[in-house]
Chains A and B, each alone.
Chain A
Amino acid sequence: MALIEIENLDVTFTAKGQRVQAVRGVSLAVEPREAYGLVGESGSGKSTILRALCGLAPVTAGAIRLAGEPVNPGRDRGRAFARRVQMVFQDPYASLHPRHTVDRTLSEPLAVHGIGGRERRVLAALADVGLEPSFRFRYPHQLSGGQRQRVAVARALMLEPEILLLDEPTSALDASVQAEVLNLLSRLRAERGLTFLMVSHDLAVIDHMCDRLTVMQDGRTVEVLAREDLAAGRFRQPYTRSLFAASSSVPTVGA
């Protein structure tokens, strides 16, 4: 059975009396331990799907199920949901509290959920994401972009969730730092059997990380592809072809 099921999802925002349909009838199913990608341009609705899963966007139609159980279509997901599903955001400059130390950022989910052994768990989490214990009492402004994103990943893993929602987790990072964070995510996924639902505008990043993907445009599904289809250039839609053309010309050293 699929771990995450989204069926005919509609998300509609109302701004200044105007209705904006950000997601229109999107369906997808993510198997346990699968890494699933959502690609498309800004405004295509890919991030909105992640937000809708977390109860951060107004779902106006359709259903979301976790392991067969429907999640509350309203906004409040509750604590049990937080222990299963966590999110990592695009911009680690904006997603970490600027006046909380790394220690406080990582301890907070434990405190909220009444989990003991805080010191041990915080140190283990830092080690997991490749940060020295000396980072524990630093503030976000004392960290580089890559270090901040490691802290954001560590925070998402504090409650030992089974699903990570990744919203452009490396698009704010330099190429070499992106490689480190992608490697970190792949390692953690293998070690912990995590399921990823990952959003990116970069087809190469999705190809590297994901088994299957949905290409989106204007809130709709353009097509669903397996990784092999992407590598072989087997797609049916011209839109996918144009995305592919724009992101597939990295020169190879020594070629």
Chain B
Amino acid sequence: MSLLQVQDLSVTFQTPAGPVEAVRGVSFTLDRERLGIVGESGSGKTMTGRSVLRLVRPPGRIEATRLAFDGVDLLAASERQMRALRGQRIAMVMQDPKFSLNPVMQVGRQLTEGLRLRDRMSEREAHAKAEAALDAVQIRDVARVMEAYPHELSGGMGQRVMIAMMLIPEPDLLIADEPTSALDVTVQAEVLAILDALVRERGMGLIFISHDLALVSRFCDRVLVMYRGRVVEELAARDLGAARHPYTQGLLGCLPRIGGPRGPLPGLDRDAAWAEA
């Protein structure tokens, strides 16, 4: 049985102007692999990721014929069961460390908070574990970072701190929402190597949400391409060049390339039919 099963997932928001469907009939399964979800803003990729943790606020509503993690029916689970899963077994890394770390709490306190409160670990034990986690994400001056407030860290350091925090409980599934979009290419490569090692060595499942097709094709095993709430194409990442759907082809076509032609970049002529099932 797959680690995660998603069948016919939809997320609907009731608005004064009528219901808005952010996600419509999305189905996929995930094993201990790297699954990429790509699409432009508004395509529903983030909402798909958040649905797995049931982190969609009202008036948003999640529906699915099946949404199961390791045999647990996520739609039937109580809020208490969900809290036990969140962070512990399914973790999420958000895009921007500036908004996801507590700005008035030192990094060390934030990293050890869960261990002290949830796992009732001693201060010293928690501290050692947090330091090991920072070490695992290639932070060199661990002692300084433990004492630092988030604003004293660069974007890349902040992102690594967030990843370290998510990895302390050793989750089985990590949902990473644009985890490297705020990072420079060389730092990005380091963060990806960390995620990659976790999938290979620990057998973690990874959902990698990104708008960056090139990045996803390099890094993931499989890719779902989303458009207006629907999955329009699913393919092996290495076959992205052989994409069949005009939207995927269009997305690839409008990127500038080094050494490419100098004329106008092809636009993306959206076909109303892409949004239909």
- Chain A residues with CB under 8 Å of chain B are 41-43, 145, 174-180, 182-183, 186-187, 201, 203-205, 207-209, 230-232, 242-244, 246-255
Contacts and interface: CB of A to CB of B under 8 A. Distances in A.
B2 interface: no
B186 A246 contact: yes
By CB atoms of chain B within 10 A, which of A175, A231, A255 has the most?
A175
A216 to B, nearest CB: 12
Q: Which 5 A-B pairs have the closest CB atoms?
A: A231-B259, A208-B256, A41-B184, A246-B185, A176-B268
Interface size grouping (class) on chain B: 35 or more
B188 interface: yes
A71 B154 CA distance: 33
B256 A207 contact: yes
B256 A253 contact: no
A162 B97 CA distance: 39
B244 to A, nearest CB: 10
Contacts of A145: 41
Given A208-B265, A252-B252, A232 B259 contact: yes
B122 interface: no
Contacts of B218: 249
Interface of B: 40-41, 154-155, 184-189, 211, 213-214, 217-218, 240-243, 249-260, 262, 264-268
A177 B265 CA distance: 11
B40 A175 contact: yes
Given A183-B264, A231-B258, A253 B214 contact: no
Contacts of B243: 253
A179 B267 contact: yes
22 contacts: A42-B184, A43-B154, A174-B40, A175-B251, A179-B254, A179-B265, A179-B267, A183-B265, A186-B264, A204-B255, A204-B258, A208-B265, A243-B185, A250-B255, A251-B213, A251-B214, A251-B217, A251-B241, A251-B252, A253-B242, A253-B253, A254-B241
B216 to A, nearest CB: 10
A43 B258 CA distance: 23
A182 B265 contact: yes
A255 B243 CA distance: 10
Contact of A248 (B41, B250, B252, B258): B258
A93 B242 CA distance: 36
A251 B240 contact: yes
A201 B258 contact: no
A17 to B, nearest CB: 16
A178 B250 CA distance: 13
A175 B218 CA distance: 17
B94 to A, nearest CB: 17
